[in-house]
Amino acid sequence: MKTKKITGFIRCVRKNSMKNGRKGFTLVELIVVLVILAVIAAITIPALMGYIDKARESQDRFDAENYLTAIQTSLTELYAMQGGTVAAGESVIPKGKVYSKNGNADVDASGTVFAQNVFKLAEVEDGEKPLFLMVGLGSNAQNTNSKTTLHDKYTVLFLFYLKDEASKPLLFFNGEWTNSYMKKTKEDTRFMDVNNVIKSGALNGKRLQYYCLSYAGTHGTFGGTDFWNWVRSKQE
């Protein structure tokens, strides 16, 4: 509708110009047209940029879901091969580096064959890996009194995906997707206690163990204080 009005205005101006014996626009008429076009651009460009942002977010969500499927497929294959043969406190992902066998036992699995298989299933090249990809499985830590089952240790209960520094984080938790990390601070225990035992929702009573599959950031070592402060800072 706006385009038709502008076209009609230009035709009217041109018609008046022809009546006055002129074959073209005057400088004033051209300036008026340019001002109108500038106003239209000022209105439409922000809306267009908003559409671009939404398209990027939709693509990120698609990629995150693709990773979740690839990870769960790989975990199911892994369970078929090793089942409950992994000792408590060890990583269920072969060659994963366990930081603390008796604590929450964060595991760096970024350089493992498992991680390579995940990216292969997701059809991702080395240069296209996300800045950060972490999953939370049922904890295999020692001396845990949580409701975590053997199957939970091979099931994606949590996922954190961040394409790059400029992207919004995507988290999968309690069967839902969100852009906010649950723990705003280290002491925040609204959703899980200090041992990463979930306190509400479908996963209530289960303990998480974090496995990093991709981290190319410069915010400290995975599992360290600087790293977790950076993770919390990415929330909305």
Q: What is the pTM of this model?
A: 0.76
Strand extents, DSSP E, the chain: 97-98, 107-108, 132-138, 158-162, 170-173, 176-178, 208-215
pLDDT of residue 112: 95
Under DSSP, is residue 231 helix (H, G, I), strand (E, B) or coil? Answer: helix
Give per-10-residue mean pLDDT for the chain (236 aa). Answer: 51 55 69 83 73 80 94 96 88 88 80 94 88 93 80 95 89 88 75 86 91 89 83 73
CA–CA distance, 190 with 186 (Å, rounded to integer): 11
What Å distances lie between residue 104 and 167, 170, 184, 205, CA to CA? 28, 22, 18, 15
pLDDT of residue 168: 86
User: Domain locations in the chain?
Assistant: 50-233
pLDDT of residue 94: 93
Q: Say which DSSP state 135 is in.
A: E
CA–CA distance, 15 with 17 (Å, rounded to integer): 5
The answer to whether 126 and 108 have CB atoms below 8 angstroms apart is no
CA–CA distance, 130 with 37 (Å, rounded to integer): 40
The count of residues in the chain is 236
CA–CA distance, 148 with 76 (Å, rounded to integer): 17
Q: In what order do the strands lie in the sheet with 107-108?
A: 97-98, 107-108, 208-215, 132-138, 158-162, 170-173, 176-178
Rounded to 5°, the CA angle 225-229-235 comes to 155
CA–CA distance, 156 with 76 (Å, rounded to integer): 10
Under DSSP, is residue 2 helix (H, G, I), strand (E, B) or coil? Answer: helix
Which amino acid makes up residue 65? E
Write down the residue that tokens 């988290």 correspond to. Answer: 171
pLDDT of residue 42: 76
The answer to whether 160 and 133 have CB atoms below 8 angstroms apart is yes
pLDDT of residue 99: 79
